[in-house]
Structure 1
Amino acid sequence: MSTATTRETASGIDALGAIHWLGVLAALVSAGVHLLLGVRMIPSALGISFVLAGLGFVGGVVLVLAGVRRRAVYAVGIPFTAIQIVLWYAVNFAGTDASIPGDVGTLGAVDKIAQVVLLAVLVVLVRR
């Protein structure tokens, strides 16, 4: 087997382990929530930002599945996902009477759980 073939196999979908698939699932869940909410809010700026965030998650999944610079994708995904969490808190809770967990809502809870899982997965993958 040539070195080129070994590299191709190592970067293909076959090289993905359970932790990768957990990250893919978490990213797709968050993407789905963002796209659903974003489409509902278009043409507002918030709706557009939700769609762009959802596409960002989908783009990251596509790059990982395609084997494109996975380590860099993981590294970029950490601040991207962390910023989503911080912005969610700032928009929905900072300076308001809303409280956690009472005012989170089902989609918010599903999205934030997925993002926390994704963040943990990305940290593990970057540290490998």
Structure 2
Amino acid sequence: MTHTDTGVDTESLTPLHWIGVLAATVTGTAHVVLGIQFGGTFMILFLFATLGFGAGVTAIVTGYHRRAVYALGIPFTAGQIVMWWVLNPVPPIPPSHAVDKVAQAVLIAVLAVLLYRES
């Protein structure tokens, strides 16, 4: 594993890793935007989710315990989907929420494949 002087390990990242990073960034960004829109307690919960996705991206990019991040990221992300489903009247699914849920589904799939590959 080769690290740059910033601690980033891009050489070992595959295109699949980058898809996961993009999906986590999309859902993290969506949580910031929606958290600000909803405010109050939801803002705190949404910002917590954003921090979780950001920590996961940071760990993956720096090569920090990737396998554990994959394993923890799956239920963390799935929990976001379940909580959203419980707290929202669906259907219809607003487009902004749909983008977030698609990103989360992609992220779960990517994490599952990466976890399988490294087992």
TM-score by length of 2: 0.89
The match for 1:50 is 46
Q: How far apart are 1:92 and its partner, in Å?
A: 0.3
Which residues in structure 2 correspond to 1:88-103 (within 5 Å)?
A: 88-93=84-89, 98-99=90-91, 103=92
Structure exhibiting the larger radius of gyration computed from Cα positions: 1
Which segments of 5 or more consecutive residues in structure 1 lack a partner in the other structure? 1-6
Q: How many angstroms apart in 2 are the aligned matches of 1:34 and 1:25?
A: 14
Q: Where does residue 83 of structure 1 map in the other structure? A: 79
Q: Pick the aligned partner of 1:119 from 81, 94, 108.
A: 108
Give runs of aligned pairs for residues 28-39 of structure 1, distance below 5 A: 28-39=25-36
Say how many residue pairs are matched. 113
Given that 2:2 and 2:11 are in contact with CA atoms closer than 8 Å, whether structure 1 keeps it comes out as no
Equivalent position to 2:37, from 37, 40, 45 = 40
Task: For structure 2, list consecutive stretches of 5 or more residues without a partner in the other structure.
Answer: none
Q: Secondary structure at the match of 1:15?
A: coil
Amino acid at match of 1:84: Q
Aligned to 1:12: 9
State the Cα RMSD in Å.
1.4
Map Cα deviations across residues 7-27 of structure 1 (whole Å, 9 max, x no partner).
Answer: 446x92110001000000000
Counterpart residue number, 1:3: none
Q: Which ranges of 4 or more aligned residues in structure 1 deviate by more than 6 Å?
A: none
